[in-house]
Structure formats: structure tokens, C-alpha cells
Amino acid sequence: MMTEYASPHHSPGHPPFRGQRRPDAEHHHVQEDEHILGNQMLGEPNRDVPERRILVVEDAADLAAHLATALRDVARDIQVCHDGNMALESVRRQPPDLIILDVGLPGMSGLDVCRILRGEGMSLPILMLSGRCGEIDRILGLELGADDYLVKPFGVLELLARVRALFRRVALSRESDAPRQLNGRIALGDLVVDPQARQGVRNGSPIEGTEREFDLLHLLAANPGRVYSRGQLLDLVWGHGSGVYEYAVTTHINRLRRKIEANPERPELIQTVWGLGYRLNAHRRRS
């Protein structure tokens, strides 16, 4: 189940988030809290809060509701999933700006969700929550791709401070990875695309390709991180109503990967976002 929350404001007196299961007698109170939070979607949003989207993945409904309330101070759009499969579907459908991911989910664990997302090339920030405070547990979460790890119980102020820090880190990373214009050329790390000469260079070596392959590379390099569906790429590169089938996009992407990727079977530069399309990964490791 996924729930969307909007515009509640947390009280400075919130107790630390512990995430323990409540007795059955208290479930009704939790449901009422969620209902109240959901109704506030009808209220006027706080215009001072950035237009960000945070996905909270937490199976304890009471803790998820409290998290959604507190996070309204740093993002306008808060969505909640209660299991790993729903979280993966949500991220693939509409990637959020940040994920808060509980380790101890039923079925698919938070560690598994993190590993799968990183394996699919998702570079969005992930803050893990866990009741396990051992050094090995924290190291495992970070090694699997989490950006930060917060141990329960924790306070609202610490949570918000860590979330803000992650957003600042992302902003700085995007500034450093943004395409630089050098005499009309687009430079992204070791990749340079020259639209006037219609030439691409990777690691100092020219990229030999067809006109369509260059058009694809130019479009993706000019918009790093943006996901394009095959239909969009057809319209933008081949032209609307060209009569070309979508599989032609896949064929050209695969050919382009063989020319620019260190390992075309595990591409780091032009990535597939399953169910959505393709993007150029601006946060890849440098070759």
C-alpha cells in the first residue's frame, strides 16, 4: 500500500522515532492519524517548502505517518510505501528526489531494495533507517549503496538535518557534473560532444558512429540524468511520424554502447531505466 501525505506540520515536541510495533489496541489511533494527515492534502501547501519528492519506505504505519509529518518541512510531496516491492514500483514509475528506507521490511528487506536500485543505475540519495546499531550493519548498508544510515531511536531534528545534508550534497554533485560548454562543445567528464563538428570523444578517442547514433548521444549528453522513453527518442531524433518502430531505438542504443562503454554488457554511461527508457548517467565512475 502506498499513501500520499501533504502539508501537515510537525510539533517541536515530537518524541524520538523508535518504530516499534504498537499493541493491537492502538492500531485504530494510528489509522486515525493517517486519515487526518491525508485530509490535509486539501489545505493550502506551504510555499516556502521546496518542490521535492521524498519516498518513505517503512512498514510500521505509525512511524511512517510521523516521518511523513516531519518531512513536510523539507519537501512538498511525501509518499509512503509499506513494503519493498511497492517501493521499487514507485521509484521506477516516478523516481523521487530522496528515499528514506527502513532496513527491516517484511519480505524484501531494505538492503535488497537498495541493492536492486543501485544495480539499475538509480543514483538518487538513500537514507537507511534501522534498529540495528552494530558497526557491521551500518557498513553493510553503506557498502550496498546507501548514502547515510540512521539508527533508531532518533529525533526529528537529526532526521531533518541529515535529509537537508543529503539534498545539499546532491546539489553540489549536480553542479560539478552538469555539462560544461566549451566553445559550443558539451563536456561531461571524459565525454565531449561537439554538435558543430558532429563528433564525440571519449577518453581522448573519437567515437565513430552513424548520424543517428550521434544525434542520440548529443540529446542524452545535453540532458544528463533525464530519462527519455523510446517513443520520445523516436520523435526527437527520427522525427514525429517517421514510421520507424521503437525497436530501432534499442538497436541504435546498443550499437552506441559498444562504441563508448568499457563494458557494453554492464553500461555505466548510457543506462536503461527499466519500464521508462534511457538516460545518460552523470554520476558514473570515471573511466
Can you spell out the DSSP letters for 132-180? ---HHHHHHHHHTT-SEEEESSB-HHHHHHHHHHHHHHHHHHHHHHSPE
Q: Would you state the pLDDT for residue 122?
A: 78
Enter the pTM of the model. 0.54
Which fold is adopted by the domain 180-280?
Arc Repressor Mutant, subunit A (1.10.10)
Question: Whole-angstrom Cα distance, residue 242 to residue 51?
Answer: 37
d(CA 250, CA 158): 45
DSSP 67: H
- How deeply is 171 buried, as exposed, middle or buried, from its count of CB atoms within 10 A (0-12, 13-18, 19+)? exposed
CATH number of 2-177: 3.40.50.2300
Structural element, H or E, at residue 109 = none
Phi, psi of 278 (to 5 degrees): -130, 155
- Write down the pLDDT at residue 273: 86
In this prediction, residue 227 carries a pLDDT of 86
Q: What does DSSP assign to residue 55? A: E
The region of weakest confidence among 45-54, 68-77, 110-119 is 45-54
Domain boundaries, the chain: 2-177, 180-280
Please give the Cα distance from 218 to 200 (Å, whole number): 8
**Residue 134 in this model has a pLDDT that exceeds 50:** yes
Q: What is the pLDDT of residue 174?
A: 61
Three cell numbers, residue 154:
532518533
Cα–Cα distance, 169 to 89 (Å, whole number): 26
What's the rounded Cα separation, in Å, for the pair 77 and 5? 7
Mean pLDDT of 217-240: 87
pLDDT value of position 26: 32
Domain 180-280 in the same topology as domain 2-177: no
| pLDDT tens, position by position, 18-27 | 544 433 333 3
Alpha helices in 44-83 (DSSP H): 61-71
Kindly report which listed range (13-22, 28-37, 79-88) carries the lowest average pLDDT score.
28-37
pLDDT in tens, 165-213: 999 887 776 655 555 555 678 887 788 888 888 889 888 889 998 989 9
The pLDDT confidence band at residue 161, using thresholds 50, 70 and 90, is very high
β partners of residue 98: 54
More confident site: 162 or 33: 162
- Which residues lie across from 206 on neighbouring strands? 201
Rounded CA separation 100/213 (Å): 38
